[in-house]
Amino acid sequence: MSYTNEDFIEVRSISDDHQTIHAKATVPKDTLLGFFDGKAMLIDLDKQSELDDYWWRQSVHLKLIGRKLLCLLPMEEPAGIDFLNHSCRPNTRVEEQLYVFADREIAAGEELTADYRTFDLVPQGIKCWCPEPNCEI
């Protein structure tokens, strides 16, 4: 299970199948908000379709080796920091593919977001849901 700093993070449901994380108190810049974990796997990208799409989207990319991706696949249902959503104007940063830090002071109630393009090594190739018209993740 990924670690979530519950002093600062709360999960909110915005639809039946979509959760977000929000600051439940003001978050100082550089605060550790959480880190990802899972089962380490080497995935052949030419056979990626063998993976369930949901778990593929939840994977944490660690290293690209030719057409193989070393990644972490969740061992449990996502929780806490796992609901970190994408934004082209993020307020967090992901270091070493694992550790999520506040990139600036974040106000209580603000959604916590990261730019997936900075730490996902294999693009999903889908249109982003952020307000930027040409963003693809």
pLDDT < 70 positions in the chain: 1, 48-56
Structure token pair of residue 42? 């080497």
For residues 98 and 28, give the distance between their C-alpha atoms in angstroms, rounded to a whole number. Answer: 19
Q: Within a 13 Å sphere around the CA of 108, how many CA atoms are in the beta-carbon half? A: 4
Chain centroid to CA 132: 19
H or E element, residue 55 = helix 53-57
Domain housing 30: 3-118
pLDDT at 36: 94
Structure token pair of residue 29? 């810049």
Residues 6+ apart with CB under 8 A from 6: 80
Please state whether the predicted TM-score (pTM) of the whole model is above 0.95: no
The tally of domains found in the chain comes to 1
Structural domain includes residue 43: yes
pLDDT at 54: 64
Structural domain includes residue 95: yes
Structural domain includes residue 123: no
Structural domain includes residue 133: no
Structural domain includes residue 13: yes
Number of C-beta neighbours around residue 137 at 10 A: 16
Q: Which amino acid is at 98?
A: L
For residues 31 and 7, give the distance between their C-alpha atoms in angstroms, rounded to a whole number. Answer: 11
Structural domain includes residue 127: no
CATH code of the domain covering residue 67? 2.170.270.10
Structural domain includes residue 58: yes
pLDDT tens by residue, 61-96:
999 999 998 999 888 888 999 999 988 899 999 999
3-class secondary structure, 81: helix
Structural domain includes residue 24: yes
